[in-house]
Amino acid sequence: MLPASLSALLSAFDLATPLALLLLPLPLLAARLLPTEAAGSSGALRVPASLVPEAASGAGIAARGRRRVLLTWALWSALVVALAGPRLVLPGIALPASGREIMLAMDLSGSMERRDFALDGETVSRLQAVKRVGADFIRRRAGDRIGLVIFADQSFVAASLTFDTASVARALEEATIGLVGRSTGIGDGLGLALRRLDPRDAGTEAGQPAPAGAKVVILLSDGANNAGQTTPRDVAALAREIGVRIYTIALGPRDLANADGEQDVVDTETLRDMAEMSGGKAFRVKTTEDLIAVADAIDALEGGRAKAPPLPLRRDLWPWPAALALACAGLLLATRRQR
């Protein structure tokens, strides 16, 4: 019985193109089927054996001939084995994968500078709180493709859909107010996020499309739509048609419906309608604790991450027979020079 380690090694051995081994008998078939050279037809000078002491006995020529035959067969066999692609196929590690595609659409208007949130006992801006909680949420979504759109006067893709959650988190942390203006174009921001979720869009990372119903937009705003060319409700209707859920987060202490002429207000009614139209959910956030709770709630609503089938780890072994073939070729050249 084979040792366990050797048995495991043999079970992991595999050939990428096993049919290449059918080439092994090709030289024998060629020697049998192709016409041989007629005796005396060679143009080489015939030297009497008596003039070559080593040849008189025939021992030297016979030995070199056997070496050449063996080296030729070793060269051919090594080339064929290398062509067959020997490799070791080892079990990989199963990674979490939910198959979801999530676009974050974040308001980067001037009001996000207002310092009415708290982090670690200190008063911070709304944007700072969103960066801290949002980056943590993104890093938790291993196995999803995530992207980031920022919007104000204009909309801009800060990160295309990717499995690299760390890079999207960095893009969020580097977002700066004023980069795309200071107004609030909610409709345009949502529209750009929807375009990035379209499988025909060239900005998405290559890979299998997400299952139906697994495309999500999480939109955060602390204002009312006052810029851009599209209305939020029209874009939300489009999201419903293409099967994209929208989660909206209304950020800030005061609602537009109860504003009484105040400027720093959030249009909770429109954001709620957008979420309901698409089959998503609307959230209201007034403190950092609210924001953390909403991130946890969305993470739970879009949970269900399971282990994907492990990707096998392959270690190619073909360089070894290829190196052997190269060594045999060098020895053959050396024996020819000795003739």
Q: Higher-confidence residue: 196 or 214?
A: 196
Residue 43 has pLDDT above 60, yes or no: no
Beta bridge partners of 284: 250
CB 223 within 8 A of CB 254: no
Give the integer Cα–Cα distance in Å for 134 and 147: 12
Sheet arrangement for strand 215-221: 155-162, 145-151, 101-107, 215-221, 244-251, 281-285
Give the integer Cα–Cα distance in Å for 105 and 197: 12
**Spacing of C-alpha 315 from chain mean position:** 20
Total residues belonging to the chain = 339
Strand pairing category for 244-251 and 313-316: unpaired
pLDDT in tens, 310-338: 667 788 999 999 999 999 998 888 877 66
Token pair in block for residue 180: 């795309």
Token pair in block for residue 10: 């043999």
Q: Residue by residue, what is the 3-state secondary structure of the chain?
A: CCCHHHHHHHHHEEECCHHHHHHCCHHHHHHHHCCCCCCCCCCCCCCCHHHCHHHHHCHHHHHHHHHHHHHHHHHHHHHHHHHHCEEEEECCCCCEECCCEEEEEEECCHHHHCCCEEECCEEECHHHHHHHHHHHHHHHCCCCEEEEEEECCCEEEEEEEECCHHHHHHHHHCCCCEECECCCCHHHHHHHHHHHHCCCCCCCCCCCCCCCCCEEEEEEECCCCCCCCCCHHHHHHHHHHHCEEEEEEEECCCEHHHCCCCCCCECHHHHHHHHHHHCCEEEEECCHHHHHHHHHHHHHHCCCCEECCCCCEEEECCHHHHHHHHHHHHHHHHHHHCC
**Average pLDDT of the chain to the nearest whole number:** 82
Token match 């993470």: residue? 299
Residue 73 has pLDDT above 80, yes or no: yes
Token pair in block for residue 267: 């249009």
pLDDT-derived band at 214, boundaries 50, 70, 90: confident
Token pair in block for residue 76: 């051919």
At 59 the pLDDT is 60
CATH assignment of 96-304?
3.40.50.410
Give the integer Cα–Cα distance in Å for 336 and 221: 81
Residue 210 has pLDDT above 60, yes or no: no
Give the integer Cα–Cα distance in Å for 94 and 207: 17
At 312 the pLDDT is 74
The amino acid occupying position 233 is R
Q: Which of 39-53, 79-93, 166-180, 219-233 has the lowest mean pLDDT?
A: 39-53
Domains of the chain: which residue ranges? 58-90+314-339, 96-304
Beta bridge partners of 85: none
